Amino acid sequence: MASPDNAEYTTTTTTTRGFSSCIHIIWQCLRTLHEKSWCKLVNTTKMVKKLGEDDPRRVIHSFKVGLALVLISILQHLRPTFYAFGDNILWAVLTVALVLEFSVGATLGKGLNRILATWLAGALGLGTRSIANLCGQKGEAVLTSIFVFLIAGTVTFMRFSTGLKARYDYGFIIFILTFCMVSLSDDKETTMLKLAQERLLTIIIGCFVAVIVCISICPVWIGQDLHNQIVANMEIIAHFFQGM
């Protein structure tokens, strides 16, 4: 029969082994997690390096986006010079982030789309609100819903056109968003009109900054890229026929 001292020793040994086993398992998990995290970090670094080496202009474009946003943030801190814009100057930041593209042509196209769509949707939204206000409180809610349904549905249907979608798809989206924001706003007409003017002006400022930065710093012309690709493909075809 085992003595009490031997039983206590056996229990202590078992507990120590169990604790050591738990520590070992935790250590292995932490080590595995560290190795996986390090591998992911290395793979991500290699991917980023490859992206920059494949086309260095991507790095320049990233720099241009950051520079454009910094310029807009400087305008934000120039109060009271731009105090009239209030918080609407933040729409210029949003515009730069959405409009500034890799090529000059795409930036110009999205900038014009955003300005025209914002102006047309704002004007149409204010017009439909004025008409709806003439019908009283209940009639206003009904007419506003009808206008939103008809106009948003019509513009969405137009997006299915291949020709229109290729050129104006971004403008259609901005048009729908702006029209709904203006039509469903609870602000008074005078307040809404002033707000719309400020937002349109800040959007124009954002587009202007995006275009200037895109053209001034290492501009990318999509036509030149197309020309280079055609030349490269012609050289490949020439080498192919020479080897036959």
**pLDDT single digits (tens) 32-63:** 887 888 888 888 887 877 877 777 888 888 89
- Gap between the Cα atoms of 221 and 99, Å rounded: 16
Q: Please say if the pLDDT value at position 191 is more than 60.
A: yes
Q: Is residue 95 part of a domain?
A: yes
What is the pLDDT, as a whole number, of residue 140? 79
pLDDT higher than 60, residue 199: yes
Upstream peptide bond of 80 is cis (omega within 30 degrees of 0): yes
Residue 225 lies in a domain: no
DSSP 105-173: HHHHHHHHHHHHHHHHHHHHHHHHHHHHHTTHHHHHHHHHHHHHHHHHHHHHHHTT-HHHHHHHHHHHH
What pLDDT score does 12 carry?
A: 56
Dmax of the chain from CA atoms? Answer: 102
> Does residue 230 belong to any structural domain of this protein?
no
Domain limits for position 193: 55-219
Selected residue with higher pLDDT from 17 and 141: 141
Q: 30 and 63: one domain?
A: no
Is residue 24 in a domain? yes
* pLDDT higher than threshold 80 for residue 95: yes
Structurally, the chain folds into a number of domains equal to 2
Q: Do residue 85 and residue 19 come from a single domain?
A: no
Are residues 69 and 45 both part of a single domain? no
Helix (H, G, I), strand (E, B) or coil at 7: helix
Question: Cα–chain-centroid distance for residue 230?
Answer: 31
Q: Is residue 3 part of a domain?
A: no
pTM: 0.71
Give the per-residue pLDDT at 219.
84
